[in-house]
Amino acid sequence: MESQGTVETVNRHKQLGLSDGQVIDMYRFMQLGRKYDERSLLLQRAGKINFHVSGIGQEAAQVAAAFALDRENDYFLPYYRDYAFVLSVGMTTRELMLSVFAKAEDPNSGGRQMPGHFGSKRLRIVTGSSPVTTQVPHAVGFALAAKMQKKKFVSFVTFGEGSSNQGDFHEACNFAGVNKLPVIIFCQNNQYAISIPAHKQLGGKVSDRALGYGFPGFRVDGNDPLEVYRVVKEARERALAGEGPTLIEAMMYRLSPHSTSDNDLAYRTKEEVDENWKKDGIAAFRSYLTGLGLWSDEQESDLVAEYNLELKEAITYAENAPFPKPEDTLLHVYDESGLKGGA
């Protein structure tokens, strides 16, 4: 019986319908998100870019959620730490670097918004706004469109636990619950809303709030990508079956400061951060793959070299790309079709 239990644990991804190749791809995207994030922090410290908001410690859950969705049809409304997520659904490191360097070719906003304001019509990533939580009612709107048009897609929206205290969150949940809309509401609880710890901002679990709006809420270990994958996949199946929304609270830890303007050790201890590094989802997933014989130190070295080269090329391209022109300030701001006699 013990040997059966060991095999059952080791082969968790196959029980979920994931192939060996898929879990290796998941790990690769986790590492790509981490390497991009680390490189952006260095660029800011070197004075190459002005600002960076980090998502280190949240990559495992982001990639797992992306793999549980339909990356060819679903609509995505990420929040500003979702680098690993947007990379997993098709954005490139070059596109992200164009954004942090604020260049005209930036596909997110043409270099006009701060980094983390993701948007891509090609990938169905819906443009985000600066006020936190506004993406949640927008996601519910896309889900309403899916239901009205009888289309088989879901909308997936992410946010931090601090955002769950905003009115937008509650109004969106209520509307989604009343209308049984195909939306997955995904809270990345990283324990801190800027400098405020969770116990000072939440009077209970975020996931429990779903009960008041008539749909299921689940709390999962955000450092366990296979568990996140399972719960998001089941939520998507529920949504497509007409059973309505799901609220998922993925528990994790923000291993880096809130942003490059933040001194995180002013409100938490180095010992607390170090203890949470031991729970890092990327390191744990690498151990899982290594234990199965699917990953090796040699593959890891090759991957690091590959990503270092990719990031170097993306940075070089972004640095040399032109900035937006002053005369283009109002480009894409107004619909000029009516002025030109269009419909």
**Cα separation, 4 vs 118, whole angstroms:** 45
Strands 75-77 and 196-197: unpaired
- Answer for the pair 255, 60: CB distance below 8 angstroms, yes or no: no
Residue 1 lies in a domain: no
Residue 296 is assigned to a structural domain of this protein: yes
pTM recorded for the entire structure? 0.93
The verdict on residue 317 lying in a domain is: no
Q: Do the domain assignments include residue 100?
A: no
pLDDT the model gives residue 305: 98
Helix pair 297-320, 93-100: axis angle to 10 deg: 40
3 state SS of 329 = coil
Residue 226: both structure tokens together: 């296979």
Q: What are phi and psi of 285, to 5 degrees?
A: -70, -35
Run of H or E residues at 232:
helix 225-240
Residue 258 appears among annotated catalytic residues: yes
What integer pLDDT is reported at residue 9 of this predicted model? 46
- Domain total of the chain: 1
Assess whether pLDDT exceeds 60 at residue 187. Answer: yes
Whether 1 shows a pLDDT value over 80: the answer reads no
Residue 2 lies in a domain: no
With a pLDDT cut of 70, the percent of the chain lying above it is: 95
| pLDDT on residue 334 | 81
Q: Let me know if residue 194 belongs to a domain.
A: yes
Catalytic position from the list 13, 34, 124, 258: 258
> For residue 194, how far is the Cα from the chain centroid?
17
**Spatial distance between the Cα atoms of 263 and 318, rounded to a whole number of angstroms:** 28
Q: Is residue 176 part of a domain?
A: yes
Given a cut of 50, whether residue 4 has pLDDT beyond it is no
CATH number of the domain within which 121 lies: 3.40.50.970
145: which 2 tokens?
A: 């469109």
Host domain of residue 125: 16-92+112-312
* Model confidence at 5: pLDDT above 50: no
Active site residue 83: no
How does DSSP classify residue 325?
Answer: P
Exactly one of 117, 209, 254, 286 is catalytic; which is it? Answer: 254
Burial 166-192 (b: 16+ CB within 10 A, else e): bebbbebbebbbebbbbbbbbbbbbbb
pLDDT at 58 over 60: yes
114 or 125: whose pLDDT is higher?
125
- The string of DSSP letters for 74-126 reads -EEE--TT-HHHHHHTT--HHHHHHHHTT-TT-TTTTT-SPTT---BTTTTBP
**Catalytic annotation on 45?**
no
pLDDT digits (tens, 9 = 90+) for 289-338: 999 999 999 999 999 999 999 999 999 999 999 999 988 888 877 877 66
Question: Is 119 a domain residue?
Answer: yes
Per the listing, tokens 């952006």 go with 40
